[in-house]
Structure 1
């Protein structure tokens, strides 16, 4: 991924920012799908948060955990 960003004209900060934004959207989509798959397979929010290196509450908020969902 770093190569893709660096591949954008390194002298043009706007091109680098645009490339980074595209990559961020791709990463966000991959994480969203992976979190959904993890929950379907029964992984806890705590396990998912640990894998993402984020607080459990933040992960639940971002990816749609409800109070009735498995913790």
Structure 2
């Protein structure tokens, strides 16, 4: 029972994290198309850098774990 609850919790946390990641990409695209980054360079810089670092880390993880 304890393992089953831990698995459900892990799946829920993973889905929540993926939802936040997708929302960050949607927000980034909307800000880019809306011209927010032309008026606020710093916001564009740190959001773009954070998304690129997180995506690169996810791709490295996927390559190590699933591609052999």
Normalised by the length of structure 2, the TM-score is: 0.52
Structure 2 residue aligned with 1:17, among 10, 23, 28? Answer: 10
In structure 1, the gaps of 5 or more residues are 1-8, 50-54, 63-71
Task: Tell me which residue corresponds to 1:46.
Answer: 42
| C-alpha distance after superposition, 1:7-49 (max 9, x if no partner) | xx9x821110101101111111111111100011112252246
Tell me the TM-score normalised to structure 1 length.
Answer: 0.50
* Cα RMSD after superposing both structures: 3.1
How many residues are matched?
Answer: 49
| Aligned-partner Cα distance in 1 for 2:49–2:23 | 17
Quote the residue 2:59 is aligned against: none
Larger RCO (CA within 8 A; separation ≥ 6):
2
